[in-house]
């Protein structure tokens, strides 16, 4: 019958560890008993050798062996029995050079030849062995018996009952098994504790379930359109999906490195590291508007999700611009109606020449304003932005004018970035000022955008904070958050290798300056001459 294998990881580990521990204990016990048996045998044989040497050293034994006949009542038998009883030996046999016994435990054996070969001892060498004799299995030793002149006159054979040796070995086994059992119990207890901890860590899942979960996790992480990062307790990245690589522009070797080493200092790094609390935190990283949420894990780490809100933010700003244009068109509609009424009145009064002069004046003024912007700013998107913002400013009662120093004859590499920068700066100024001046300059391939206003200005202590994500002194609209416009401006400037700064304006207000290196593609002089 096949024993069913448990499914849970903890049960498998417990069973495996118990089997391994039992096997190791049995192996160690066997390895211990094997040398112990040999050691006990060696001790028994050396004990027999010592008794034999002691017997052979007795001068009376040599004298009686050479002067008397073998007899159960003879002096050799008496001396051998005395020594045997004193040493608790199994037997002590004294033999002559012919191998005839002069002493034996069984007196009937006296006068007969020994049952084992005595030639080694009679040849002058000592011998130790475990052997079978007439008295059974024993540990025995044989030594030559010499007279005073050193001649070999016989031999002494001493045996120690092997049963006593075996009993000593068996007597050591219970203690050994007791210690082995204690070690096995400790090993099983440790395995049980490890399995309980493993069961809590794996939530009682099987290996197949864990493998499936890992496969599903990988598929899920790389298929969702949200960026996911897992951080350990030391702030190092444990895993990140493809969307995280794309949004944060991280290298493939970012896994295993701290967040501070793979991202520049700023709000994004602070959010990922947990130094900023909250949900749906808005941050800007590498020109992208991201929504971040951070969830701590039980091991001290965290899982962070990031959603790309760049397109939504741009749509929100376009919506704001659309609302502004609608307001401007509504205002122009009223203004146009007033002008039509004025024109109709002049015609009804018969003042036709005055009516013609009024129409020419209005038309030339509008055309001149748009043409001036188009002449100074070559890019159509930037020109349209300035004309549209002028209409919005007029509706709000704000004077927005383009500086006479404005010159941008070159081709813009990416007009959308300049529109984003200039639009954000003008929008911020429209909320706080009544007078705005815009200046756009080309210094080689570098574009310099400058917006000044007569608002309350920016205190020196907050001039760096206003470029931080989420920092704003104004109430957020319902459809999007505040504190992103200037953050986007700075990120775009840094992406071009430039800078964004704010200074005080003479007479009150603020001056925002953004430098964008390599934002322009300088035209050859021949091409500029043709355009003129």
pTM of the complete model beyond 0.85:
no
Residue 181 lies in a domain: no
Q: What is the pLDDT of residue 330?
A: 64
Residue 27 lies in a domain: yes
Q: Check whether residue 138 and residue 254 sit in a common domain.
A: no
Q: Check whether residue 299 and residue 376 sit in a common domain.
A: no
Six-digit token pair at 462?
A: 């907050």
Mean pLDDT of 138-163: 86
Q: Check whether residue 293 and residue 322 sit in a common domain.
A: no
Last residue of a domain, one of 137, 168, 199: 168
Q: Check whether residue 68 and residue 146 sit in a common domain.
A: yes
Q: Check whether residue 258 and residue 380 sit in a common domain.
A: no
Residue 321 lies in a domain: yes
Q: Check whether residue 509 and residue 395 sit in a common domain.
A: yes
Residue 389 lies in a domain: yes
143 pLDDT band (50/70/90 cuts)? very high
Distance CA 501, CA 508 (A): 17
Residue 291 lies in a domain: yes
Last residue of a domain, one of 248, 276, 308: 308
CATH number at residue 281: 3.30.450.20
Written as one string, the DSSP assignment of 331-354 is HHHHHHHHHHHHHHHHHHTT-HHH
Percent of the chain with pLDDT over 70: 71
Number of domain units in the chain: 3
136 pLDDT band (50/70/90 cuts)? low
Residue 26 lies in a domain: yes
Last residue of a domain, one of 251, 278, 308: 308
Q: Check whether residue 21 and residue 123 sit in a common domain.
A: yes
Strands 446-453 and 510-516: antiparallel
Is 93 within 8 Å of 156 (Cβ atoms)? Answer: yes
Strands 399-402 and 435-443: parallel
Residue 212 lies in a domain: no
pLDDT of 317-373, one tens digit each?
A: 556 556 655 655 565 565 666 667 777 777 777 777 777 776 666 665 454 466 677
Range of the domain at 105: 9-168
Q: Check whether residue 352 and residue 449 sit in a common domain.
A: yes
Residue 19 lies in a domain: yes
CA 190, 194, 200, 206 dihedral sign is: negative
Q: Check whether residue 290 and residue 319 sit in a common domain.
A: no
Bigger pLDDT: 366 vs 303: 303
Residue 248 neighbours by CB distance under 10 Å: 21
pLDDT of 399-420, one tens digit each?
A: 888 888 888 887 787 888 888 8
Q: Check whether residue 111 and residue 233 sit in a common domain.
A: no
Q: Check whether residue 93 and residue 153 sit in a common domain.
A: yes
Q: Check whether residue 412 and residue 432 sit in a common domain.
A: yes
């Amino acid at each position: 019958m096949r024993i069913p294998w448990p499914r849970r990881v903890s049960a498998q580990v417990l069973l495996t560890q118990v089997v391994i521990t039992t096997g190791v204990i049995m192996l160690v016990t066997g390895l211990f008993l094997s040398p112990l048996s040999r050691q006990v045998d060696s001790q028994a044989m050396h004990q027999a050798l010592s008794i034999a040497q002691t017997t052979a050293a007795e001068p009376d034994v040599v004298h009686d062996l050479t002067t008397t006949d073998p007899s159960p009542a003879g002096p050799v038998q008496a001396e051998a029995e005395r020594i045997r009883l004193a040493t608790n030996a199994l037997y002590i046999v004294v033999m002559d050079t012919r191998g005839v016994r002069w002493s034996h435990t069984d007196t009937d054996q006296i006068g007969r030849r020994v049952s084992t070969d005595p030639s080694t001892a009679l040849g002058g060498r000592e011998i130790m062995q475990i052997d079978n004799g007439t008295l059974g299995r024993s540990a025995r030793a044989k030594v030559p018996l010499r007279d005073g002149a050193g001649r070999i006159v016989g031999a002494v054979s001493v045996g120690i009952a092997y049963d006593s040796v075996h009993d000593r070995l068996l007597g050591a086994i219970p203690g050994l098994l007791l210690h082995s059992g204690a070690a096995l119990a400790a090993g099983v207890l440790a395995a049980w504790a490890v399995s309980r901890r493993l069961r809590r860590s794996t939530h009682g899942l099987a290996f197949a379930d864990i493998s499936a979960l890992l496969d599903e996790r990988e598929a899920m992480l790389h298929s969702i359109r949200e960026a996911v990062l897992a951080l350990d307790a030391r702030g190092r990245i444990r895993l990140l999906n493809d969307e995280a690589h794309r949004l944060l522009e991280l290298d493939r070797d970012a896994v295993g490195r701290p967040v501070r080493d793979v991202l520049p200092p700023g709000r994004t790094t602070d959010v990922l590291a947990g130094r900023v609390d909250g949900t749906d935190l808005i941050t800007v990283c590498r020109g992208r508007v991201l929504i971040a949420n951070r969830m701590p894990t039980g091991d001290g780490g965290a899982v962070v999700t990031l959603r790309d809100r760049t397109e939504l933010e741009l749509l929100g700003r376009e919506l704001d611009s659309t609302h502004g244009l609608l307001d401007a068109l509504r205002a122009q509609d009223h203004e146009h109606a007033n002008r039509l009424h004025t024109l109709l009145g002049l015609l009804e009064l018969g003042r036709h020449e005055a009516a013609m002069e009024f129409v020419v004046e209005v038309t030339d003024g509008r055309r001149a304003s748009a043409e001036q912007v188009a002449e100074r700013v070559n890019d159509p998107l930037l020109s349209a932005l300035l004309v549209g913002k002028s209409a919005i400013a007029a509706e709000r009662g704000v004077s927005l004018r383009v500086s006479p120093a404005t010159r941008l004859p070159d081709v813009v590499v990416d007009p959308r970035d300049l529109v984003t920068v200039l639009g954000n700066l003008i929008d911020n100024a429209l909320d706080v000022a009544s007078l705005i001046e815009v200046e756009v300059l080309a210094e080689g391939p570098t574009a310099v955008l400058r917006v000044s206003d007569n608002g309350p200005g920016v205190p020196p202590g907050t001039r760096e904070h206003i470029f931080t994500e989420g920092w704003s002194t104004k109430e957020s609209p319902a459809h999007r958050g505040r504190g992103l416009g200037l953050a986007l401006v700075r990120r775009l400037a840094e992406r071009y290798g430039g800078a964004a700064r704010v200074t005080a304006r003479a007479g009150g207000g603020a001056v925002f300056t953004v430098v964008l290196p390599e934002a322009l593609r300088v035209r050859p002089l021949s091409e500029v001459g043709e355009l003129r």
